[in-house]
Amino acid sequence: MALEHFRLDGHVAIVTAAGRGIGAGIATAFAEAGADVVIAARSADQLAETAAAVEAHGRHCLVVPSNLAEDGALTALSQAAFDEFGRVDTVVNNLGGTFPQPFSDVSREKFERAISFNVGTAYELTQAALPHLLNSPNGSVINIASVAGIMAGRAMSSYGTAKAAMISLTRQLGQELAPKVRVNAIAPGFIETQATELVTTSEQMRATAISNTPMRRFGLPEDIGNAALYLASPAASFVTGVLLPVHGGAEGPVLDFGTPDL
């Protein structure tokens, strides 16, 4: 009986930035648990790979190639999901990312762009999908934040602030959308994906990051996928407004980006 609570049969989930890495891992985990999935990203080729993984589990996958940072793209994504399936049960806001830069090099324009890309997009898609989520018996939102939002580190003024804002948004909406829609966040630590190849392919940087992680390994997209599956499933029906860190036990930044003293 307990395992049945982790099933997502009849469930429809939207996952942004799902062409690779964390997004692809979440989409695949959902499909394995019985959900149909709507995936979006800019690269149609990458989305096709994720769709194949979803369909290998016997589930339907709607592929929406799109630049989700463009005006109206997120509203269109929500509508496309509803038009295809007639329902939306979970939204995974995985779109985001900002390259580390020293504070003195981050203009106000860059800072505002980081906030918009990491938090504004999550806000917009959640709002667009809300009418559908309210009609779901298990409506939920999962925001993919970062340990940068809870750990201070150099070169992270824009990204860390944006992810901290996403965590705060999660807590606020956890209150405001209860009891019909649950809103939670995941804070990944260092996850081994194509986006982190600069570190994972450097012997020195790899060794440093792993030595600073108590579990002595990098996280994998599957680790985040499993956490998202729990939060989306009926097993987490009494969980809202929380942040779930998945960081291998790290209590601080695992890498030093070499930002010098001013």
The yes-or-no answer on residue 159 being catalytic is yes
Of 82, 117, 159, 190, which is the active-site residue?
Answer: 159
- Other CB atoms within a 10 A radius of the CB of residue 218 amount to 20
Residues belonging to the active site: 159
